[in-house]
């Protein structure tokens, strides 16, 4: 009843395009570690972390205390004043970033971080031509929607940019899908060269890419692809932006930043989501020359404010002190191998992929590759009924997204796998009964 009433009120005053999960949407009102409770008292294991944002876990005491302490002293000053926690956070991020002589500009969202990155690139190159990947997602503003290669998230064609889309991020449905890694990379690089020659005026500002496409269904290109593309970019002076909004902070397990799997140094890096553990904190990192090249004033009133920065700092400290990147690698491998066993007998699973704690399960109509978004929705419901929250995504809404907080424990991973096993059986049973 509580949820039904909330839903009525939500629908009366909030936009219809801000979609909700589940036939009967739920409100999450309390969390602890990897567990959350809804407004009607049901408990869940949280394997989506508010879209990969609850990074260290719910109600981590060290993070909560830092926020409470800062909130009681000073929530906001604006960037017109020195903000010590923001300075310290920027120092730490600059040291962790794979960019030499780095500077950091804080924003409040991933969208705004990518806006800033695009501004830096366009200013430096005096060009509004951008290269982006097909099946990408970079945000909800006009500029970032304009570099988003996903029809389902492109509500308008208005854009300040002239954009060309490159092959490569989403291998499962790529025309090059049957090639081995080296040949796939080579085909995508050839396409990039061809695109620059045929679709642009040559002086492109930047190529922006997610190392693992998040909204696009945790699509993982072969390691090295982005590095090979960066080499082509360098030949033309084109800057390379890595969007680490989902892949940053060790989530992919093997590296701290997703781009590091591609053996290359980006010119610009954007981050958001996990750093604030839910606080509104994001930003862009670039070499000092590039960052300082903006020739007009620019501020983000809330970006890196004392509250967000103090919470983000405590969250980052916790992540590093507990080496959650290693945990993401171990737990990711455990979940992945458990899932590989689970999906082996299920014709509805077309592809199992991912890195670390970013695992995608692409659902198709048995016998082919036709996307099956209905099965994805049914699986989401089946998991929820059994106390597990997971996410959904992909170009056709047919990919399950499994992305728990990086502090996931072994017994929780096993509990999640058990639910997924039952849910997959339920879906198969339903199909057989049809």
Ligand X SMILES: Cc1ncc(COP(=O)(O)O)c(C=O)c1O
CB 312, min distance to ligand X, A: 14
Each residue 167-206 as x (binds ligand X by CB under 6 A) or -, in order, gives ----------------------------------------
- Of residues 41 through 80, those in contact with ligand X by CB under 6 A are 51
- Of residues 255 through 284, those in contact with ligand X by CB under 6 A are 272, 282
Q: Which residues of 368-383 are buried (b: 16+ CB within 10 A; e: fewer)?
A: eeebbeebbbbbbbbb
CB 111, min distance to ligand X, A: 3
CB 142, min distance to ligand X, A: 13
Is 376 a residue that touches ligand X (CB under 6 A)?
A: no
Closest to ligand X by CB, 14 or 340: 14
Distance (Å, whole) CA 354 – CA 54: 19
Distance (Å, whole) CA 44 – CA 243: 30
Stretch that binds ligand X, among 37-45, 118-126, 209-217, 287-295 (CB under 6 A): 209-217
Give the HSE-up count for residue 328: Cα atoms under 13 Å, Cβ half-sphere.
Answer: 34
The strands making up 35-38's β-sheet, listed across from edge to edge, are 28-32, 35-38, 43-46, 388-389
Give the residue, chosen from 131, 206, 209, 215, that forms a contact with ligand X under the rule CB under 6 A: 215
Each residue 297-336 as x (binds ligand X by CB under 6 A) or -, in order, gives ----------------------------------------
β strands within 155-258, DSSP E: 162-166, 206-209, 239-243
Closest to ligand X by CB, 54 or 246: 246
Closest to ligand X by CB, 114 or 423: 114
Closest to ligand X by CB, 214 or 404: 214
CB 280, min distance to ligand X, A: 8
Distances (CA, A) of 312 to 8, 115, 273, 285: 34, 21, 10, 16
Closest to ligand X by CB, 127 or 135: 135
Q: Vertex 174, ends 173 and 176: CA angle to 5°?
A: 135
CB 131, min distance to ligand X, A: 16
Burial class (CB in 10 A: 0-12, 13-18, 19+), 21: middle
Strand (E) or helix (H) holding 70: helix 61-73
- Sequence-ordered list of residues with C-beta below 8 angstroms from that of 101, at least 6 positions apart, any chain: 287, 288, 289
Distance (Å, whole) CA 274 – CA 357: 13
CB 32, min distance to ligand X, A: 24
Closest to ligand X by CB, 138 or 336: 138
CB 371, min distance to ligand X, A: 20
Distance (Å, whole) CA 106 – CA 218: 26
- Of residues 106 through 165, those in contact with ligand X by CB under 6 A are 109-111, 114, 137-139
Between the two ends of the chain, the Cα-to-Cα distance in Å is 32
Number of chain residues interacting with ligand X (CB under 6 A): 16
Closest to ligand X by CB, 264 or 364: 264
Closest to ligand X by CB, 243 or 362: 243
Stretch that binds ligand X, among 77-85, 210-218, 228-236, 350-358 (CB under 6 A): 210-218
Distances (CA, A) of 388 to 74, 197, 344: 37, 48, 21
Q: Which value, in Å, is the radius of gyration of the alpha carbons in the chain?
A: 21
Closest to ligand X by CB, 143 or 423: 143
Q: Vertex 216, ends 212 and 219: CA angle to 5°?
A: 40
Closest to ligand X by CB, 17 or 81: 17
Give the residue, chosen from 36, 245, 375, 400, that forms a contact with ligand X under the rule CB under 6 A: 245
Shortest-Cβ-distance residue relative to ligand X: 110
Distances (CA, A) of 94 to 105, 279, 334: 10, 20, 32
Strand (E) or helix (H) holding 52: helix 49-52
Give the residue, chosen from 210, 362, 372, 412, that forms a contact with ligand X under the rule CB under 6 A: 210
Residues found near ligand X in the complex (CB under 6 A): 51, 109-111, 114, 137-139, 210, 214-215, 243, 245-246, 272, 282
């Amino acid at each position: 009843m509580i949820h039904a009433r909330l839903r009525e009120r939500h629908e009366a005053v909030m936009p219809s395009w801000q979609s909700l999960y589940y036939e009967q949407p739920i409100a999450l009102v309390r969390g602890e570690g990897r567990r959350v409770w809804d407004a009607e008292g049901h408990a869940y294991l949280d394997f989506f972390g508010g879209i990969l944002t609850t990074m260290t876990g719910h109600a981590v005491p060290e993070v909560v205390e830092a926020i409470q302490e800062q909130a009681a002293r000073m929530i906001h000053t604006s960037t017109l004043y020195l903000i010590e926690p923001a300075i310290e956070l920027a120092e730490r991020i600059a040291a962790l970033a794979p960019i030499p002589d780095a500077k950091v500009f804080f924003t409040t969202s991933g969208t705004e971080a990518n806006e800033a990155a695009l501004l830096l690139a366009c200013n430096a190159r005096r060009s509004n031509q951008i290269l982006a990947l097909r099946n990408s997602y970079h945000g909800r503003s006009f500029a970032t929607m304009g570099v988003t290669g996903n029809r389902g998230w492109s509500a308008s064609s208005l854009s300040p940019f002239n954009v060309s889309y490159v092959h490569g991020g989403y291998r499962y449905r790529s025309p090059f899908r049957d090639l081995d890694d080296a040949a796939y990379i080579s085909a995508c690089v050839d396409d990039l060269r061809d695109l620059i020659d045929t679709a642009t005026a040559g002086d492109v500002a930047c190529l922006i890419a997610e190392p693992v496409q998040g909204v696009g269904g945790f699509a993982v290109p072969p390691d090295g692809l982005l590095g090979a593309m960066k080499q082509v970019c360098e030949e033309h002076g084109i800057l390379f932006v890595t969007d680490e909004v989902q892949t940053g902070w060790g989530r992919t397990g093997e590296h701290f930043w997703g781009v590091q799997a591609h053996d290359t140094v980006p010119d610009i890096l954007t981050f958001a989501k996990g750093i604030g553990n839910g606080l509104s904190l994001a930003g862009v990192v670039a070499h000092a020359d590039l960052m300082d090249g903006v020739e007009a004033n620019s501020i983000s009133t809330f970006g890196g404010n004392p509250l967000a920065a103090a919470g983000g700092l405590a969250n980052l400290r916790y992540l590093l002190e507990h080496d959650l990147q290693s945990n993401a690698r171990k737990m990711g491998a455990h979940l992945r191998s458990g899932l590989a066993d689970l999906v082996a007998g299920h014709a509805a699973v077309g592809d199992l992929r991912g890195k670390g704690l970013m695992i995608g399960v692409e659902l198709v109509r048995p016998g082919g590759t036709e996307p099956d978004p209905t099965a994805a929705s049914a699986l989401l419901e089946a998991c929820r009924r059994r106390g597990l929250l997971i996410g959904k995504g992909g170009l056709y809404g047919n990919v399950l997204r499994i992305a728990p907080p990086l502090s996931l424990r072994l017994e929780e991973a096993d509990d999640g796998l058990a639910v997924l096993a039952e849910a997959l059986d339920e879906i198969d049973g339903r199909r057989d009964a049809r």
